[in-house]
Structure 1
Amino acid sequence: MLYPLNSADKLGFTEVKQLIKAHCLSVMGQEMVDKIQVMSNYDLIAKFLNQANEFKNILQNDAALPINNFYDIKSLANKARIEGSFLSEEEFFQVQASLTTVFAVIAYFNERTGVYPNLEALFEHLPIEKAILKKIDMVIDPKGKIRHNASRELMEITSGIAKAEQEARKKIDQIFKTATGNGWTADGSLTVRDGRICIPLLAENKRKLKGFIHDESASGQTVYMEPEEVFSLNNRIRDLEFDRRREIIKILTALTDELRPYVPLLLSYHGLLTKLDFVRAKALFAMDIDAEMPKVVNEARLRLLNARHPLLFLSFKKDHKTVVPLNVAIDEGTRVIVVSGPNAGGKSVCMKTVGLLQMMVQAGLLIPASADSVVGVFRQVFVDIGDDQSIESDLSTYSAHLSKMKKFVEDANGKTLILIDEFGTGTDPQFGGPIAEAVLEALNHKKVRGMVTTHYSNLKIFASHTEGIENASMLFNNTEMLPMYRLEVGKPGSSYAFEIAQKIGLPQNVLNLAKNKISSGQKKVDSLLVDLEREKKEIFDTRLKLDQQQRRVNTLLAENEELKSFLDENRKALLKEAKQEAKNIILNANKLVENTIAEIKSSNADKEITKTLRDNLSAEVQRNTVKPDVAKQKLAVDEELKPGDWVKLIDGDTTGQIIELIKDNVVIAMGELRTVVKKKRVEKVAKSTIPKEVRRSGISHTGDIANFSPEIDVRGMRTEDALFAIEKLFDRALMMGFGTLKVLHGKGDGILRKMIRQYLKKYDQVDRMEDEHPDRGGQGITYVYLK
């Protein structure tokens, strides 16, 4: 039940219906849209929502449904029901096209049995009577014209007409040719007058031919004559055409008689087409507003996530702007939300969004909100928005509000949703505030659900200490004096009356005078609210900065991981090359020794030859001997260490760059890692001996770890790419000692979320994984806690 009756107009529901009507292909579908009403039957609501959602899935993900023709076959069936009546060729063509569409649609769903159960229910137990179509096809061709062979008589008549027309044409051509040769005709060719072919003759020659004059030109110089010889032939053609028309009526009457027993079935087919057009229009509108199907429960509660006002969404879409999403919950614990805040801050739009989306769901329409939203069923929706003063009823603005409050207090219950805008206004605030508080207390006592907007401080105070009622405010940027259009539940908001007045340019002396006229208690309350708003804004800005810093840290971790991978790959390559080179040296040495021994033996140990061979052997040994780097050792001993120097651990191959000297210790940066060792454990190395890749990875400042962000966004990535990116982030988080990771993967079908969690479970370092809070992303974000 809606109260008052114009609530649908107030909330924009009527405009939504008009937008849905624009998508209908038929008048029947538009009439069905006009009948959309807010329902309270849970099963019907669920059925209509599922139908719209299934059709939306077809439009987005499946082959096109073969819906080509929508005609009002109900009126045609009712016409055929009357004995002695008959349908015209065009009307039979409409029946033919509609039946073709019906059978194609049924075949479409039969190929997908079980995929769209709620749409299949539209034609469940509906028989497919193709005999009707066959009977019509025998008489009406695909262009909607009667077939020339629909009956033997019609075929003979049609043939006779063709022969007579051919003979008449031949005869008049001969006469026209003769008259032209004699110079009797006027300029031009044969023409038609009153449906008869005539010869244009000069007026002075009209008696030179026998015939019937049908017309003359405006000047009177030309007459249009039908020759006597052709006149009788044309009369014969006209008689045959009358015979043809009578035969066609006879055929159509007989066909209508055959169709009459199927009238109830035709009405059922009409119902199917109408419902399909109706559901299709709802699905197309849902796509326009990016709507989803929420979870529907048979309880008086709701929880909207990322909700948007559909009309505002469409308006912003044209201007390439985005709507700030709304997150709000109304349930047993928080029954009524009192929204306060500055003017033009979005209070009314917030409340209208809740009301309109609730009405849309209870009317079987998908809504522009997250699919994780939960929407219940209310038996009554009471609305008080705008000025309903009435001259006829002698009601002022405040009287009209009070009349509604009387209705609300008397008839509302625990299954009623109330929406009141600017609660208590319209009269002296000194009295309007207490009356509004009393009404709110009475409504709360009845356990009603709803949302009200107000500027009254007494209502904010009442909500703060009353169970079941919760304060909320629309966030406001008090630095730039601009609304943020974000609903914050838990704290009331300031009206920012003085701040907005100052920004507009009201004289300071007037502002000071106004401030002196309000009570000190009210000043304190308003100042406190302004301070709370400022703190919330600062927290919001700080959070944004932290997110930016985390993203920078993420980038540095990724670079470090790439460097580590590069060093590991090069180390393996160098070891492989060294082993191969050592193997080659040993093989060559063996060959050299064997050849030397053989040559000594073959020369019978000749001294000169033996000496030469020994010299060659010594030279080869000297060439493959590694010489100690004396210069480097001397460099390490003689020169003092200082920040920026490159050093190597004496007991290993690890190199790094000195960041800081602390007594006998040095702080070394090795890529992203830091380590502290004794001076005696390192030796200085020349910068030129350090690979360029390692030098590039040298850390130039000490704040890089602070820039690491254990957060990654993999939305839109392929599964393999996402897992690879997460693995790199995971390794760097372990190296840095971070305890949690935040993975943004989106909701979608949940496949990416499932794959990511299965992949991370294989690591022993992972303690547990949790979803983000529903108000901040829910199942679209995973928090990974490390041991």
Structure 2
Amino acid sequence: MLYPNNSADKLGFTEIKELIKGHCLSIMGRDRVDKIQVMNNYDLIRKFLSQAAEFKNILQNDAALPIQHFFDIKTLANKSRIEGAFLSEEEFYQVQSSLNTVFAVIAYFNEREGQYPNLEALFEHLPMEKSILKKIGMVIDEKGKIRPNASRELLEITTGIAKAEQEARRKIDQVFKTATSNNWTADGSLTIRDGRLCIPVLAENKRKLKGFVHDESASGQTVYIEPEEVFTLNNKIRDLEFERRREIVKILTALTDELRPFVPLLLSYHGLLTKLDFVRAKALFAVDIEAELPEVVNEAKIKLIDARHPLLFLNFKKEQKTVVPLNVNIDDGTRIVVVSGPNAGGKSVCMKTVGLLQLMVQAGLLIPANEASVVGVFKQLFVDIGDDQSIESDLSTYSAHLSKMKNFVEQANGKTLVLIDEFGTGTDPQFGGPIAEAVLESLNQKKVRGMVTTHYSNLKIFASNTEGIENASMLFNNVAMQPLYILEVGKPGSSYAFEIAQKIGLPQHVLNLAKNKISAGQKKVDTLLVDLEREKKEIYDSRVQQEKEQRRLNSLLTENEKLKNYLDENKKALLREAKQEAQNIILNANKLVENTIAEIKSTNADKDVTRALRDNLNTELKKNSIKPETTKVAIGEEELKPGDWVKLVDSDTSGQVIEIIKDNVVIAMGDLRTVAKRKRVQKVSKSAVPKSVRRSTRNDTGDYASFSPEIDVRGKRTDEALHAIEKVLDRALMMSFNNIKVIHGKGDGILRKMIRDYLKKYDQVDRMEDEHADRGGDGITYVYLK
């Protein structure tokens, strides 16, 4: 129950309904939006919210629902009930188009059985009676016109008309040619008068041509004559057209009679189309305001996380601004939140956001808040916003407020949400404050949930000393004298009356005079609140900066740990390889020495042979001893290219070349990337790189070697598509590409919009453009990088 009756208007819910109506395709859908009511049935609320969430999922992540035509077939079905009545060609076409849409939708969900259970329930047990389409299709063509062969009689009449028209045209052309050759005709060609084809004849020659005069020109110099020979044929054509019309009526009447038994089924189809249009409009609006499905509980509680006022969000979106999100919790422990703070600080918007989002949820609409938000169900919603003074009812502003307070106190209970703006204003603060405090105490005793805004100090003190009531304030930057629009729960806020007055430019002597007129106690309280606000702001800024530094520190620690682990592992592998290579060299040298000694012995120490063997031994040993250095020089001078394996000269670290940019080389080492000068690396053979390094590097570098700045995300869910695009964007930036190409398809344009909004957040993105219309148009986005 809403009290007063204009609460929906006060909170902006009527505007929300108008925006949803703008997404409807049919009059039935718009009528359904007008009938949206705030419900308190938990199961119904869950059902309607789930339907909207499932349709939103289809819009963002699935193929487009085949919704093309929405006509009011209920009116047509009721018309066909009447005996002797018949539907026109256009009306049968509307029925045909609507049924095609219904059957396509049912087939769409049948292919995805179980995926969208709440939407499937809309047409549960609804049969696909395709015989209706078959009957209509035999009479009405794809353009909504009656088929010439709808009946044998109609075909004969249509053929007779065509022949008579052909004959009449032939004869009038012949007469026109004769009249023209005799110079009887005026300038011009054959023309239509009274639905008849006529010859324009000069007035002085009208008796030379036998026929029926249908018209004459304004000057009277030209008359329009239907030749006598053609007149009889045209009359015959007219008679045949009357016969054709009678035959069409006969056919349509018979078809309507065949349709009459299916009227109840047509009404069911009409109901499905209406519900689909309605749910679709809600889902499209949810996409506009970036709404989500919160957790809904059958309790009187609210926990909003990152909530935004939908109307404010849309207005800011046009101006490319962002709304400061709201976080608030109202439950059994914190039943009423008393919000204080400066004027124009966002108190009323905060309260209206809570009220509007609660209305939306209980009306089955998704809300612009984090999906972790929890929204309960209230039986009553009482609202006191604005000035409801009435001349007719002889109510002043304060009387109107008191009248509402009376109803609030009498009818509110633990299942009631109460929203009061500027609590206690409208009369002398000396009396208005205590009355407001008494009302607040009474509401708290009844376990009422709610939010009130106030500037009264006694209400702030009462809230701080009363269980179930919590103070909250809108943060204010008292240095820049600007509101921050952030709700801080736990402590009251100052109204900053003198500070704001000083900023506006009120003369200093007037401000000093005002300060002298308030009590010392009140002055002290307000000064303490201002100081408290200043300290809160400083603590908040420090906390934000500290969290930022902590995140940076954690990132550096993680990166350092990864690098240390990689270096430790790489060092062990290199040592193993070096030891193995040293063992091989020693083994080969030993074999060479042994073979040399054996040959010297076998030749009985012949001097020449011994000298030759010694020279050979020295040569082989020198080769082994200088091999690493010569290899290093030779390899270092070789040209590098992406995919080559290299080693840093001043360490034992190995990696694979990703890209060469002037004198710099981008190297992949497992999951890490580094850039080194060309002179600091030397090319090595793949076999010289430890297997562990090759395995950890192979996948990533392979991707870089074959990297293409183009990605196709058609058919993917939104989160999958954005994740894939982010990876391509990161690599394109690393590899200095100028642009990337994103193929997302057209559809309803939802995926395209989500991708572009997401990419706008990147500072590295310069601009985005559609592909040329001949090569995909707005189904492809080119992202140009800075």
- Do these two structures clear the TM 0.5 threshold for a shared fold by scoring above it? yes
Matched, 1:43 2:36: no
Q: Distance in 1 between matches of 2:514 and 2:316?
A: 38
Q: Distance in 2 between matches of 1:97 and 1:154?
A: 24
Tell me what 2:8 maps to: 8
Correspondences of 1:182-581 after superposition (within 5 Å):
182-554=182-554, 556-557=556-557, 558=559, 561-562=562-563, 565-566=566-567, 568-569=569-570, 572-573=573-574, 575-581=576-582
Tell me what 2:754 maps to: none
Counterparts in 2 of 1:178 and 1:719: CA distance versus 1, 3 Å: closer
Tell me what 1:58 maps to: 58
User: Is contact 1:600-1:606 (8 Å) kept?
Assistant: no
Matched, 1:181 2:187: no
User: Is contact 2:88-2:252 (8 Å) kept?
Assistant: yes
1:61-106 C-alpha deviation (Å, 9 max, x unpaired) = 2221111100011111111112221111111111111111111112
Counterparts in 2 of 1:249 and 1:499: CA distance versus 1, 3 Å: same
The offset of 1:593, in angstroms, is 3.8
User: Is contact 1:600-1:610 (8 Å) kept?
Assistant: no
Question: Could you tell me which amino acid in structure 2 is paired with residue 513 of structure 1?
Answer: L
The offset of 1:26, in angstroms, is 0.2
1:276-307 C-alpha deviation (Å, 9 max, x unpaired) = 11111011101111111111111111111111
Q: Structure 1: state its 5+ residue gaps.
A: 627-652, 655-690, 694-713, 722-787
Q: Distance in 2 between matches of 1:269 and 1:386?
A: 45
Q: Distance in 2 between matches of 1:383 and 1:429?
A: 21
Matched, 1:586 2:610: no
The offset of 1:568, in angstroms, is 4.5
Tell me what 1:598 maps to: 599
The offset of 1:113, in angstroms, is 2.0
Q: Which stretch shifts more, 242-251 or 554-563?
A: 554-563
Question: Could you tell me which amino acid in structure 2 is paired with residue 143 of structure 1?
Answer: K
The offset of 1:569, in angstroms, is 2.3
1:572-622 C-alpha deviation (Å, 9 max, x unpaired) = 3355135314422431243134314422541x3467986997899799989
User: Is contact 1:600-1:609 (8 Å) kept?
Assistant: no
The offset of 1:463, in angstroms, is 0.5
Q: Distance in 2 between matches of 1:80 and 1:398?
A: 59
Question: Could you tell me which amino acid in structure 2 is paired with residue 583 of structure 1?
Answer: N
Q: Distance in 1 between matches of 2:606 and 2:93?
A: 120
Q: Secondary structure at the match of 1:471?
A: strand
**Percent of residue pairs identical:** 76
Counterparts in 2 of 1:100 and 1:528: CA distance versus 1, 3 Å: same
Question: Could you tell me which amino acid in structure 1 is paired with residue 391 of structure 2?
Answer: I
Counterparts in 2 of 1:28 and 1:250: CA distance versus 1, 3 Å: same
Q: Distance in 1 between matches of 2:613 and 2:137?
A: 110
The offset of 1:236, in angstroms, is 0.6
Q: Distance in 2 between matches of 1:228 and 1:350?
A: 85
Tell me what 1:71 maps to: 71
Tell me what 1:773 maps to: none
Tell me what 2:115 maps to: 115
Matched, 1:33 2:33: yes
Question: Could you tell me which amino acid in structure 2 is paired with residue 421 of structure 1?
Answer: D
Counterparts in 2 of 1:142 and 1:586: CA distance versus 1, 3 Å: same
Question: Could you tell me which amino acid in structure 2 is paired with residue 331 of structure 1?
Answer: D
Question: Could you tell me which amino acid in structure 2 is paired with residue 91 of structure 1?
Answer: E
User: Is contact 1:300-1:376 (8 Å) kept?
Assistant: yes
Q: Distance in 2 between matches of 1:61 and 1:148?
A: 45
Q: Distance in 1 between matches of 2:722 and 2:560?
A: 22
1:732-781 C-alpha deviation (Å, 9 max, x unpaired) = xxxxxxxxxxxxxxxxxxxxxxxxxxxxxxxxxxxxxxxxxxxxxxxxxx
**Which structure: larger Rg?**
1
User: Is contact 2:299-2:378 (8 Å) kept?
Assistant: yes
User: Is contact 1:340-1:454 (8 Å) kept?
Assistant: yes
Question: Could you tell me which amino acid in structure 2 is paired with residue 433 of structure 1?
Answer: G
Q: Distance in 2 between matches of 1:260 and 1:219?
A: 57
Question: Could you tell me which amino acid in structure 2 is paired with residue 57 of structure 1?
Answer: N
Counterparts in 2 of 1:717 and 1:26: CA distance versus 1, 3 Å: closer
Tell me what 1:147 maps to: 147
The offset of 1:462, in angstroms, is 0.4
Counterparts in 2 of 1:592 and 1:79: CA distance versus 1, 3 Å: same
Q: Distance in 2 between matches of 1:717 and 1:543?
A: 30
Q: Secondary structure at the match of 2:574?
A: helix
Q: Distance in 1 between matches of 2:531 and 2:721?
A: 38
The offset of 1:381, in angstroms, is 0.6
The offset of 1:220, in angstroms, is 1.9
Q: Distance in 2 between matches of 1:617 and 1:227?
A: 126
Taking structure 2 as the reference length, what is the TM-score of the superposition?
A: 0.77
Counterparts in 2 of 1:580 and 1:126: CA distance versus 1, 3 Å: same
Question: Could you tell me which amino acid in structure 2 is paired with residue 580 of structure 1?
Answer: E
1:308-343 C-alpha deviation (Å, 9 max, x unpaired) = 111011111111111111111111111111000111
Correspondences of 1:163-182 after superposition (within 5 Å):
163-182=163-182
Q: Distance in 1 between matches of 2:251 and 2:320?
A: 59
Q: Distance in 1 between matches of 2:299 and 2:556?
A: 50
Tell me what 1:84 maps to: 84
Counterparts in 2 of 1:96 and 1:605: CA distance versus 1, 3 Å: closer
Q: Structure 2: state its 5+ residue gaps.
A: 627-650, 653-679, 683-719, 728-786
Q: Distance in 1 between matches of 2:518 and 2:681?
A: 72
Q: Secondary structure at the match of 1:139?
A: coil
RMSD: 2.9
Question: Could you tell me which amino acid in structure 2 is paired with residue 256 of structure 1?
Answer: T
Q: Distance in 2 between matches of 1:222 and 1:605?
A: 140
1:185-236 C-alpha deviation (Å, 9 max, x unpaired) = 1222111111111111122111111001111122222211100011011011
User: Is contact 2:36-2:363 (8 Å) kept?
Assistant: yes
User: Is contact 1:149-1:155 (8 Å) kept?
Assistant: yes
Q: Secondary structure at the match of 1:147?
A: coil
Q: Secondary structure at the match of 2:138?
A: helix
Taking structure 1 as the reference length, what is the TM-score of the superposition?
A: 0.77
Counterparts in 2 of 1:76 and 1:623: CA distance versus 1, 3 Å: closer
Q: Distance in 1 between matches of 2:155 and 2:171?
A: 24
Tell me what 1:158 maps to: 158
